Amino acid sequence: MSSPNTSPTISDEQTVEERYLRQLFVRSQMTDFVADPLVMSKADGVHYWDVNGKQYLDALAGIYVVSVGHNNRRVIDSIKQQMDVLSFSPVMHGTNPLAVQLANKLAEVAPGDLDAVKLLSGGSEATEAAIKMARQYHKLRGNATKYKIISRYQSWHGSTMGSLSAGGLASRRAVNEPLAGGFVHVFPPTCYRCPFGKEYSSCDITCASLIGDVIQMEGPETVAAVMVEPIGHTGGIIDPPEEYLPMLREICDKHDVLLVFDEIITGAGRTGQMFAAETFGVTPDLVCLGKGISGGYAPLSALICRRSIADTFWGDSSSNPGFVEGHTFEGNPLSAAVGLATLSEIIDRDLCGNARRVGAHLKERLGDLRKHNIIGDIRGKGLFLCIEFVEDLESKAQFNPPIGQAVGKRALANGLLTRFDPHWIALGPPLIITEEQADEMVEILDRSITEVLAER
Ligand SMILES: Cc1ncc(COP(=O)(O)O)c(C=O)c1O
């Protein structure tokens, strides 16, 4: 078999061979990857098939992207129709109707006065743009010294130099150091393993109040923004206590610091509302969307800001250059068509409601895995969930060697795609998933854990 209309010299089946994979960089270490390569060839609904015909239940929506499921005809038809009309417009000089329509749709569904939109192509572009918008906003208001960005250890905001500098993953930062200046890191709200050795709720939410202290120590006149994922991903689905984000809102308001939510994963319905901002009842000043608003059908991300911030960028061009940020593919009409169709699918089919319902069911069913006596914690909201493995439930001691990757790889061999880490496994399936499919995910995880424990 070969891909349609591409006249390949290599068949699809041959693409798993090392001699051909040597010409490609994937995300993993290539030496490991070629030993057991995963090359997907088609997908439908909540399933993938690899080039060998093996089927996978997609408990990860690709990587939190395929919100409306694979092979969604409405989205596919929208991009096909748009291709016949206009595939690219001159971004240097103008825009196109689809970009304007998508910006207005996003402004309509975004909470509060989040109202003006910069359309981009990937998550890193959106978080990078948020950093730039925060800095330029303060400059335009005469506060040029407000440039520092406060973000969290264990976070991930993207691969570009600014977003990487905001990120807090030591392993991904170290290989690129020195990183950009002006970034300050604080500890995340990891209740299960409180970085301050405290217990909720007698802790007074130190993880939030400390951010106020850090702003004071840095000097409020130097701080532009606090940037957080409402639910942190890379630390193992760090679901903050309910007081945390409202406290951040208050702290930021007090110091004229912008609050930025990186909702690249949590946006587009994943936590059971269109935005996690709504799930937590806190409106940020800037919000970054990516992954799920594209449904995976075309590269698409967005930065949305509050009306008062957007207005700062209007004015006489001799003194106000507008928002100085641009990319060749921003507001691309094909991506915008995809975004409009994906949003319509989420709204018309009430996929936020489905994420709440099936998410609650899946979380409860994950509780069944506690029978293995190695599940220390189950976290998350909607269809963004995680189980953390511990060797000792009492002391929370972690497995050595870690077990998470072994279980995740076994689940993959058993036909289930998840996000696995040394000590946790996360699930983020398409929002169209049914309770029966959620049950099947838990059954495969159950079997995979049993098999891995039997072999240790
Ligand atoms: C929370 C978060 N922010 C930003 C990004 C960067 O997005 P992208 O990989 O599309 O550049 C990611 C990617 O995984 C992410 O999870």
In the sheet with 375-381, reading across from the earlier edge strand, the strands are 375-381, 384-389, 424-427, 419-420
Same-domain status, 451 and 379: yes
Q: Are 60 and 418 in contact (CB under 8 A)?
A: yes
Q: How far, in Å, is the centroid of ligand 1 from the Cα of 348? A: 26
Cα of 124 from ligand 1 centre, angstroms: 6
Task: Please tell me whether residues 312 and 399 are part of one structural domain.
Answer: no
Mutate to test the pocket of ligand 1, among 127, 128, 163, 260 (most ligand atoms within 8 A of CB): 127
Q: In this predicted model, what pLDDT tens digit does every residue of 63-102 receive, in sequence order?
A: 999 999 999 999 999 999 999 999 999 998 899 999 999 9
- pLDDT tens digit string along 225-277? 999 999 999 999 999 999 999 999 999 999 999 999 999 999 999 999 999 99
Q: Residue 6: what pLDDT?
A: 67
Would you write out the chain's pLDDT as a tens digit for each of its 456 residues?
556 666 779 999 999 999 999 999 998 889 999 999 999 999 999 999 999 999 999 999 999 999 999 999 999 999 999 999 999 999 988 999 999 999 999 999 999 999 999 999 999 999 999 999 999 999 999 999 999 999 999 999 999 999 999 999 999 999 999 999 999 999 999 999 999 999 998 999 999 999 999 999 999 999 999 999 999 999 999 999 999 999 999 999 999 999 999 999 999 999 999 999 999 999 999 999 999 999 999 999 999 999 999 999 999 999 999 999 999 999 999 999 999 999 999 999 999 999 999 999 999 999 999 999 999 999 999 999 999 999 999 999 999 999 999 999 999 999 999 999 999 999 999 999 999 999 999 999 999 999 999 998
Which pair of structure tokens corresponds to residue 209?
């109040």
Give distance in angstroms: CA of 123 to centre of ligand 1. Answer: 5
CA-nearest residue, atom 7 of ligand 1? 123
Q: What is the pLDDT of residues 140-159, one digit of tens each?
A: 999 999 999 999 999 999 99
Domain assignment present for residue 3? The answer is: no
Number of domains forming the structure of the chain: 2
CATH number at residue 408: 3.90.1150.10
Enumerate residues 6+ apart whose C-beta is below 8 A from 421.
236, 404, 405, 408
Residues 123, 185: one domain?
yes
Check whether residue 413 and residue 303 sit in a common domain. no
119: domain CATH number is 3.40.640.10
Q: What Å distances lie between residue 64 and 131, 292, 293, CA to CA?
A: 23, 6, 10
| Residue 128 domain flag | yes
Given 348, 378, 404, the domain boundary residue is: 348
CA–CA dist 296, 67 (Å, integer) = 8
- Output the CA 157–ligand 1 centroid distance in Å: 5
- For ligand 1, the distance from its centroid to the CA atom of residue 289, given in whole angstroms, is 9
And the tokens for 118?
């910069």
Q: What percentage of residues in the chain have a pLDDT greater than 70?
A: 98
Instruction: Indicate whether 175 and 144 sit together in one domain.
Output: yes
Asked whether residue 7 is domain-assigned, the answer is no
Q: Atom of ligand 1 at shortest distance to CA of 127?
A: 4
Q: Which atom of ligand 1 is nearest to the CA of 125?
A: 11
Residue of the CA atom closest to atom 4 of ligand 1? 157
Give residue 435's identity as a one-letter amino acid code: E
Instruction: Flag whether 30 is in a domain.
Output: no
In a domain, 184, yes or no: yes
Distance of CA 307 to the CA centre of its chain: 24
Can you tell me which atom of ligand 1 is nearest the CA of 63? 14
Record the tokens describing residue 216, joined without a space: 């004071």
**Residue 449, in any domain of the structure:** yes
d(CA 413, CA 229): 31
Q: How far is the CA of 158 from the centre of ligand 1 (A)?
A: 5
Write the burial class of residue 298 (CB in 10 Å: 0-12 exposed, 13-18 middle, 19+ buried): buried
- Please check whether residues 264 and 327 belong to one and the same domain: yes
Residues with CB under 6 A from ligand 1: 122-124, 127, 156-159, 229, 233, 262, 264-265, 290
For residue 81, count CB atoms less than 10 angstroms from its CB and return exposed for 0-12, middle for 13-18, buried for 19 or more. Answer: exposed
Residues 256 and 315 in one domain: yes
Phi, psi for residue 27 in degrees, rounded to 5: -65, -35
Same domain, 398 and 252: no
Q: Which domain holds residue 383?
A: 38-68+351-455
Same domain, 332 and 317: yes
Integer CA distances (angstroms), 366 to 136, 360, 438, 439, 444, in order: 45, 10, 9, 9, 11
Which of 348, 381, 412 lies at the terminal end of a domain, its last residue?
348
What is the C-alpha to C-alpha distance for residues 96 and 87, in angstroms, rounded to an integer?
10
Q: Which residues contact 202 (CB under 8 A, 6 or more apart)?
A: none
CA atoms of 291 and 299, how far apart (whole Å): 8
Q: Residues 420, 429: contact at Cβ < 8 Å? A: no
Looking at the structure, tell me whether residues 366 and 261 fall in a common domain. no
The number of helix segments (H) and strand segments (E) in the chain equals 16, 15
The answer to whether 96 and 89 have CB atoms below 8 angstroms apart is yes
One domain, residues 384 and 237: no
Protein residue with least CA distance to atom 14, ligand 1: 158
Final residue in a domain of this structure, among 317, 332, 348: 348
Same domain, 355 and 274: no
Taking CA atoms only, the protein residue closest to ligand 1 atom 10 is 123
- Tell me how far apart the alpha carbons of residues 144 and 225 are, in angstroms, rounded to a whole number: 13
Mutational test site, ligand 1, from 291, 293, 301, max ligand atoms within 8 Å of CB: 291
